Structure 1
Amino acid sequence: MLGWVMCRRVGPLWMWNTLLVFGVIAFASQLLGYIFNKSSSSIQLAAHAILSSSDSQGPSLGSCSPHTHIMFLKTHKTASSTVTNILYRFGEEHHLRFALPLGYQLGYPLPFVANRVKGYQSPGAQEFHIMANHLRFKKTEVEKVMPADTFYFSIMRDPVAIAESSFDYYKATTPAFWKAKTLGDFADDPWKYYNPRARNNHYARNLLWFDFGMDHNANFSVSLARRGEALIRHTFKLVLMTEFFDQSMILLRHALCWPLDAVVSFSLNARQRKLGGRGGGSGRSQSNPVLSEDQQEKLRQWNAFDCFIYDAFNRTFWEKVDKFGKSRMEEEVGLLRKRREALTRLCLRDGGKPIEAHHIRDKTIRPYQSGLVKILGYELQPGLDNSTRIACLRMIRPELQYKDLLDAKQFPRTRGQQSDHRIQTDSGLMKAGRGKSEPV
């Protein structure tokens, strides 16, 4: 009788077992949720601490005011895509207006004309803050777009390294490279492959000189080279050096009066390294083995104008470093690298190692591919809060996608126009593959 009464009060055993299981699950869920939320909160607090750290500002810049009118001559194969990302980020964060191209380049390789800028009407009719897409420089036309107080700067790289990168990247679109098995073969006898009248052959000779708007096929003379150097110096207040990128960023930060984090970057448009390449994303492909000293010297002679201005502005660069102070430069470069390491840990998966595009799960941040070698990109750390993810994404977003984003913000479209734009974008990318609109 007692057993029957107890059975009636507590119910069947299976019901209690079921309730117990559900209770354990509920408790575990609450516990895991608490742990997850606590962990997520800890990650968010750590991210906020990194992003808002006083280190992000860097050493004091004094009483200067940040430059917001900037023209960057984006030269080819010089790490200029990384510099463009820096300008894109700063402009987006401060709601500045970009002088954007109708496609992906400002009429390149033709000399720049003002009406290649989207939204341009007439000189002074509208304010543009930043110009940073590829163009072949023509000062009188740039001045129609950019205000009188614009800060002009550019970047240069050792012409032999440019030739190595250019051969890999533009082999399919540059007639001078088509029949040359290796860059060494081309260097041994350039005139065997080079036709000065062939389209896109500017990628094969004096590419820096060409980008600055001068005749890359002219016969070299010191007097002509000096005149070109003087023209560059008259306009460009700072010329960065790819091989000394971190020092360049410190000089740029002080010239623009920007905080340290504004010039912290991850290397973009880096090529996959093969056969022990150089630094700065200039790894050699299977078709571009190590050049002999004789072949390197031949390339210097072939690119004599580029070598002249590179040597001249390399000397000027180190004069600026000396004036800045070598110990002061070493200190600020150390702070820059420390910030890059901190942001790498915060933002990037796998220790920040660049990976092949097809391994990047987010298709919207896969870099554009061209040439003989693969262009690498990055993946973000999972679990970032929204504001941190936005900040990190800006640092790794490839140039083409970033340009499209800025374009969409600056020129909002209706739904129908967005559909048309996607078609035009796809067309632009296909043209890029044929060498008509190379984006980097």
Structure 2
Amino acid sequence: MNVRWEMPNRTCLQKLAVLLSLTVIIVVQWKYIVKKSPASRKSSIRTAECKPVRNFVYLKTHKTGSTSLKLILEKHRKRHKISGKVREFPFPYYCGYPGSIRKEFCFIGSYNASSGNQRASVLMGHFRFNKENVKELVSTGARYISIMRDPAKALESSFHYYYDHGRINKSPYYKMDIRCLGFPYVGVLGEHGKTFSDFITTVSPSSILKQPWGFRAKNYQSYDFGVDPHNESYQYVMGEARKLDQTFDLVLILEHFLESLVLLKDLLCMTWRDIIPSTRTVGRYTTHELTARERHKVDLLTKQDRILYNYFNRSLWRKIGEYGEKRMKTHVKKLRRMIKFPASRQSFTKKAKGDRNNASVVVRFQNKTNEDRVLEIGRRLELLFPRTDRKSLPDKSLFSGLAKHMVENNGWCPRFATKEIIRT
């Protein structure tokens, strides 16, 4: 029996070609999906669907590179026209610093936060963290962000900023400045013109907190996070670190700043241009090389900070692992290129802090009672409050209440006379 083979018609061939093409496309797409990591797929979906975050809390820790980060977040706020920001008062602090944040000492726009049911969309700046009090102030669903720095470097930066800036200031506002520039360092050394090494040699870690603003020289970052400065046990600090980790969505690490910014971009649904730092500030001082004995003293002064720093450094790298290490390296390279050659008109420039001089200033203190301190700070606060906004205050007793809160938390400044001695 002869079988006769017939050529398929043209229509059948066309259908077969289409079927083969579809098969190839499906196979290629399937291989791409299998190869792509789950974290990358999740992030890609989120990036395509995300909306810029409009509610966030930024705890601006001291001497950690936090100003550069605040500029980035402020740019994000202005770009998306986010209102309802908690304002600074008294400058540069928020809501009762150095005491824990309290709603009655906060202002949203021109109005006291306790005068109504209004909640803030944005809180970012120097305040002492307290989870429950912040939740009373800020809208629900807010993202929580902060930053940390190597504790030894942060301590040295704190010394040079407060000690060097605490020299005689000719500004007419200096007498009203409630920051008490110079302390606690000038309180320990008794004069200006000394070095960081002199301070480390002289300071007593067990008594530094008795100085006004003493927390600036001992566990400064932990203090800002609301950790009890008098409990340095490892178990307690680790417990506080875990609680903070449950609250904060991201704690950036200055030593890994670019990786941190990439994660911040992902968290707040920002663009690449959003996370380019516009400026950075640098201090004019030479980093001191610590001796073994000085290193031991610094470790005693930064014990809590070191525990928190190590905890959140590990947390950061876990987040980087979830983001994808290979993907992170690619994006860090991209960000580094954008910072070096900004595509926009922004410039990543160094903004030098004030010059230092070698004048020695001997300081003589006058004792004051707590009542005197409250009265003096209260008067300063009333003078510092903008005159146009005073009508919005619910009660004029706010100034005395805020002053008392500050004094009770070591935020007072001794009255002193100075005599300048120029070194030759």
* TM-score (structure 2 length as normaliser): 0.63
Distance 2:351 2:313 in 1: 32
- Which runs of no fewer than 5 residues in structure 2 stay unpaired? 1-42, 167-180, 359-385, 393-410, 414-424
* 1:376-410 deviation digits (Å, cap 9, x = unpaired): xxxxxxxxxxxxxxxxxxxxxxxxxxxxxxxxxxx
Quick check: 1:75–1:211 contact (8 Å CA) kept in 2?
yes
- Residue 151 (structure 1) aligned with residue 137 (structure 2): no
Q: Which amino acid aligns with 1:306?
A: D
1:177 is displaced (CA, Å) by 1.8
Q: Which amino acid aligns with 1:82?
A: S
Gap change, CA 1:192 and 1:214, over 3 Å in 2: closer
Name the structure 1 match of 2:200.
187
Quick check: 1:264–1:340 contact (8 Å CA) kept in 2?
yes
1:370 is displaced (CA, Å) by 9.2
Quick check: 1:122–1:144 contact (8 Å CA) kept in 2?
no
Gap change, CA 1:344 and 1:258, over 3 Å in 2: closer
1:69 maps to which of 55, 65, 75:
55
1:188 is displaced (CA, Å) by 3.6
1:164 is displaced (CA, Å) by 0.8
2:155 maps to which of 163, 169, 185:
163
Distance 1:123 1:337 in 2: 46
Gap change, CA 1:222 and 1:335, over 3 Å in 2: same
- Larger relative strand fraction: 2
- Residue 101 (structure 1) aligned with residue 93 (structure 2): no
Quick check: 1:176–1:193 contact (8 Å CA) kept in 2?
no
What SS does the aligned partner of 2:251 have?
A: strand
Name the structure 1 match of 2:416.
none
2:106 maps to which of 114, 117, 120:
117
Q: Which amino acid aligns with 2:273?
A: D
Distance 1:88 1:164 in 2: 27
After the TM superposition, list the runs of 4 or more consecutive aligned residues in structure 1 that deviate by more than 6 angstroms: 370-373, 411-414
- Residue 92 (structure 1) aligned with residue 81 (structure 2): no
Gap change, CA 1:93 and 1:167, over 3 Å in 2: same
Distance 2:67 2:343 in 1: 18
Distance 1:65 1:356 in 2: 36
Q: Which amino acid aligns with 1:215?
A: D
Name the structure 1 match of 2:335.
336
- Larger relative helix fraction: 1
1:371 is displaced (CA, Å) by 7.6
Gap change, CA 1:95 and 1:192, over 3 Å in 2: closer
2:213 maps to which of 192, 200, 223:
200
- Which runs of no fewer than 5 residues in structure 1 stay unpaired? 1-57, 276-283, 358-368, 374-410, 418-434
1:356 is displaced (CA, Å) by 4.6
Distance 2:64 2:211 in 1: 24
Quick check: 1:137–1:212 contact (8 Å CA) kept in 2?
yes
What SS does the aligned partner of 2:280 have?
A: coil
Gap change, CA 1:249 and 1:216, over 3 Å in 2: same
Quick check: 1:112–1:135 contact (8 Å CA) kept in 2?
yes
Quick check: 1:78–1:157 contact (8 Å CA) kept in 2?
yes
* TM-score (structure 1 length as normaliser): 0.61
Name the structure 2 match of 1:251.
263
1:187 is displaced (CA, Å) by 2.8
| Correspondence 1:14-413 to 2 at 5 A | 61-97=47-83, 98-104=85-91, 105-106=93-94, 107-118=96-107, 119-122=111-114, 125-171=117-163, 172=166, 173-178=181-186, 179-180=188-189, 181-191=194-204, 194-218=207-231, 220-272=232-284, 274-275=285-286, 284=287, 289-343=288-342, 346-348=345-347, 353-354=349-350, 356=352, 369=354
Quick check: 1:207–1:216 contact (8 Å CA) kept in 2?
no
1:229 is displaced (CA, Å) by 1.0
Gap change, CA 1:142 and 1:124, over 3 Å in 2: farther
Quick check: 1:174–1:201 contact (8 Å CA) kept in 2?
no
